């Protein structure tokens, strides 16, 4: 049997997903590249007709999820690596987004990931092998103002991935959550939605954040090709990491958050740990 892996990657029309699909195919593995509009992947399929398949997938649509995974197994016989990359960001303070925007953010970034994972897990358990890679974010570890809802979805992925890793390790399945900082993927111009109820005088952080978007869509941000090569290297390593920050900005942000938490909880530790019942009360 071929040792080439089969990768199932969501959100491959652009950004990390597209770059990852291209790198995986270039190294000879097989890819089921999914997108809401698979016709945008035509050039990829023409370049790799034997090892690439383009499949329609809206992660919020359960029928799409089931059909795409069935097609992947029908075409290549298995799934070795699931990469949950599909998602987008909602920008705005907690007061500034509409209820509909908030719901759609969670439906895509959290429930969409769960839809795909829950459908793929029985396949991986049956194989007694596999690797689930969830694309999180630095802001899923350290939240920024005016990115609260996007951060919350990525925080959710952190918790889900951590629990999942412990659950599936005995079944031969590995789990990695990737935590990128800013990369030149076009994300800020392509995949960020701004809240409908902006209050610029109350929350200037939203204006400041949207004004900073151009620097995230230029070469001063990280190189996505280098990033996805590290993801591939991690997947192929003997002991892949659970957490994989990408970029110096991500490492420094996570390290600063860890230090901040340590300092904050130390101040109240002595007082707040004195919570046992008094001896007289227990007697």
Number of structural domains (the chain) is: 1
Pick the catalytic residue from 48, 149, 150, 203: 150
Out of 23-27, 148-152, 158-162, 181-185, which region has the weakest mean confidence (pLDDT)? 181-185
Q: What is the mean pLDDT of residues 81-98?
A: 96
Determine the pLDDT at residue 1: 39
Question: How far apart are alpha carbons 225 and 272 in whole angstroms?
Answer: 47
Residues whose CB falls within 8 Å of the CB of residue 91, separated by 6 or more in sequence, listed in order:
146, 147, 150, 192, 193, 194, 195, 206, 209, 210
Asked if residue 280 belongs to a domain, the reply is: no
Asked if residue 11 belongs to a domain, the reply is: yes
Asked if residue 77 belongs to a domain, the reply is: yes
Asked if residue 206 belongs to a domain, the reply is: yes
CATH code for position 173: 3.40.50.720
Asked if residue 278 belongs to a domain, the reply is: no
Question: How far apart are alpha carbons 281 and 283 in whole angstroms?
Answer: 5
Asked if residue 199 belongs to a domain, the reply is: yes
Q: Which two tokens stand for residue 93?
A: 């303070």
pTM (2 decimals)? 0.94
Q: Is 150 a catalytic residue?
A: yes
User: Range of 135's domain?
Assistant: 6-252
| Among candidate residues 179, 141, 169, the one with its CA nearest the CA of residue 239 | 169
pLDDT band at residue 54, thresholds of 50, 70 and 90?
A: very high
Asked if residue 269 belongs to a domain, the reply is: no
226-268 pLDDT, tens digit per residue, is 999 999 999 999 999 999 999 999 999 999 999 999 999 999 9
14-53 pLDDT, tens digit per residue, is 899 999 999 999 999 999 999 999 999 999 999 999 999 9
pLDDT band at residue 212, thresholds of 50, 70 and 90?
A: confident
Asked if residue 273 belongs to a domain, the reply is: no
């Amino acid at each position: 049997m071929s040792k080439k892996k089969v990768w199932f990657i969501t959100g491959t029309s652009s950004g990390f997903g597209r770059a990852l699909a291209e790198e995986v195919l270039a190294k000879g593995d097989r890819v089921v590249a999914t997108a809401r509009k698979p016709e945008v992947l035509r050039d990829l399929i023409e370049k790799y007709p034997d090892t690439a398949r383009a499949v329609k997938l809206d992660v919020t649509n359960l029928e799409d999820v089931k059909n795409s995974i069935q097609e992947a197994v029908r075409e290549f016989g298995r799934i070795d690596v699931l990469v949950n990359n599909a998602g987008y960001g909602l920008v705005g303070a907690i007061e500034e987004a509409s209820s509909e925007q908030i719901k759609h953010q969670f439906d895509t970034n959290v429930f969409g990931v769960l839809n795909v994972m829950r459908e793929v897990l029985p396949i991986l358990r049956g194989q007694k092998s596999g690797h689930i890679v969830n694309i999180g974010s630095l802001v899923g570890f350290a939240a920024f103002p005016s990115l609260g809802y996007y951060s919350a979805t990525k925080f959710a992925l952190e918790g889900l991935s951590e629990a999942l890793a412990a659950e599936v390790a005995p079944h031969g399945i590995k789990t990695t959550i990737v935590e990128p900082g800013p990369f030149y993927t076009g994300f800020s111009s392509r995949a960020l939605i701004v809240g409908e109820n902006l209050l610029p005088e109350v929350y200037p952080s939203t204006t400041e954040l949207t004004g900073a978007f151009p620097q995230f869509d230029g070469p001063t941000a990280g190189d996505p090709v280098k990033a996805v090569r590290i993801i591939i290297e991690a997947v192929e390593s003997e002991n892949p990491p659970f957490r994989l920050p990408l970029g110096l900005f991500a490492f420094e942000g996570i390290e600063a958050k860890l230090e901040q938490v340590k300092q904050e909880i130390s101040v109240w530790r002595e007082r707040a740990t004195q919570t046992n019942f008094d001896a007289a009360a227990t007697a």
